[in-house]
A and B are shown apart, each in its own frame.
Chain A
Amino acid sequence: MMWLNRDIVSIGDFSVDEIMEIIDKANKMVQYASSGHPERPLSGKIVATLFYEPSTRTRLSFESAAMRMGARVLGFGSLEGSSVAKGETLSDTIRIVNSYSDAIVLRHPAEGAARLASEFADVPVINAGDGAGQHPTQALLDIFTVWKESGPVNGKSIGFVGDLKYGRTVHSLSKALSMFDVSLYFISPDELKIPKHIKKDIEKRVPVRETRNLEDVIEELDVLYVTRIQKERFPDIEEYKKVAGIYVIRPSLISRGKKNLIIMHPLPRVDEIPPEIDHLPQARYFKQASYGVPVRMAILDLILRGE
């Protein structure tokens, strides 16, 4: 498959075979994720990380991945002092950074920003989250986590719980998973249901079940993907408390699930997963976060060296 110079903008740009190729390569990178690749295959390359919005985890894992592969990193993590703060357009910034680097990693509040950037850059652009839109490398590391921690993706029943309306992670990931042979469960309060257009698209390919009640479906799940419900989405704090409380993951709930159930969360978490869950064998969210590095190492290697 052609990887050299390829943009990573939307998970929808990839076939199942391509996703599996990334997963396979990421698996080989796991051994180097904490010590660095001994051959420094990206030595001499420069990766630019342009973060128009703060995101500690995503930025640091990209930068770590680049450095573990031998590349150097430049960029910004906030707009303060940058030319953007002086009013420069995204397209102008991209044109300039294009000549300073071999790949651009972009986090931007506008939906579609990475697609736009890819049209102005000759070097490959990686979307590290564009507003409420796509976050393809998060989806890829989530699929990698399912594969690594729970076995083949095909045949799995995967439940998403929490804020399914605004959570872009859920949008990207459920779309990607729907390319596999899976069953998807969307568990949320009515106010935070998965957007209709996304559900409609996913239903064309895989069976979907929507419910308010996690207890109704917990026994059927192989993977429970928990997301944070944000207070600011609710005008009335009492309404928030009512809803947020429903989806706190308790050990008693987990004990009703399958023996091999795994629990994932894109982090940061607030109250939805209490610390007592961390010690259960089902808890895989810290592993999931750690896989950000090998998955991004694999992606950088593929697009910068083509292999």
Chain B
Amino acid sequence: MTEEKMLKVEKIRRGTVIDHIPVGRAFKVLKILKISSDPGVTVSIAIHVKSKKMGLKDVVKIEDRILDSSELNKIALIADGATITIVEDYGVIKKFVVKLPDIITGILKCSNLKCVSNMEGSIIPSFTLISKEPLTIKCHYCEREMETEEIVENIL
């Protein structure tokens, strides 16, 4: 990120920066991370940021919170290819790109209320990636296909 772009959103001392979010999805990222219900977390959001790679993109910075692998998997669901930067003491300690896996397990439930995965408590819901654009996944059990809106609604 260039210095000029960095000025748009202040640097953070410690936390997580999620860059290259497909434009319009920043608020969905916050929703799936359930951050809006946590007043202890400071969040900066930049939407419609110009990007060489993407044309336009969204960026989210979350202070004092390092995302765990389950949260990163959730982000990959709606922001495949987003760049995650972990910051400590204003320095980058880790930077990587999240990738949507072919099999998605344990991070969302099936939207079909009659699906057996919603009835038997011990079952871990599992989904197969059908297409990235538009995002479509299929329940391993009932074979119901879900698209972005439904996916966001059903993230655990």
Contact = CB atoms under 8 A, between A and B. Distances in A.
Interface of A: 10, 12, 89-91, 108-113, 115-116, 130-134, 197, 201
Contacts of A132: 114
Contact of A89 (B110, B115, B122): B122
B116 A111 contact: yes
A110 B122 contact: no
14 contacts: A89-B121, A89-B122, A90-B116, A91-B123, A111-B143, A112-B115, A112-B116, A112-B142, A113-B141, A116-B120, A116-B141, A130-B142, A133-B143, A197-B144
Interface in B106-122: 110, 112, 114-117, 119-122
Given A111-B114, A111-B116, A91 B143 contact: no
Given A110-B114, A110-B116, A116 B143 contact: no
B114 A131 contact: yes
Most A CB contacts (10 A, CB to CB) among B112, B115, B123, B145 go to B115
A133 B117 CA distance: 13
A116 B145 contact: no
A134 B140 CA distance: 13
Q: B-side binding surface: helix, strand, loop or mixed?
A: loop
Nearest to B125: A112
Contact of A112 (B122, B139, B145): B139
Interface string B122-151: 110000000000000001111111000000
A111 B140 CA distance: 11
A110 B142 CA distance: 8
A115 B122 contact: no
A201 B136 CA distance: 12
A91 B144 contact: no
Contact of A113 (B110, B116, B139, B143): B116
A109 B116 CA distance: 9
A112 B109 CA distance: 13
B114 A116 contact: no
Nearest to B139: A112
Contacts of B143: 10, 12, 111-112, 133-134
Contacts of B116: 90, 108, 110-113, 115-116, 130
A112 B114 CA distance: 9
Given A116-B116, A132-B114, A111 B144 contact: yes
Contacts of B139: 112
A115 B120 contact: no
A173 B140 CA distance: 20
Contacts of A116: 116-117, 120, 123, 141
Interface string B74-118: 000000000000000000000000000000000000101011110
Most B CB contacts (10 A, CB to CB) among A89, A109, A115, A134 go to A115
A200 B122 CA distance: 33
A301 to B, nearest CB: 27
Nearest to B110: A112
Nearest to A134: B143
7 closest cross-chain pairs (CB), A and B = A112-B141, A111-B142, A112-B142, A110-B116, A112-B116, A113-B116, A115-B141
A131 B116 CA distance: 10
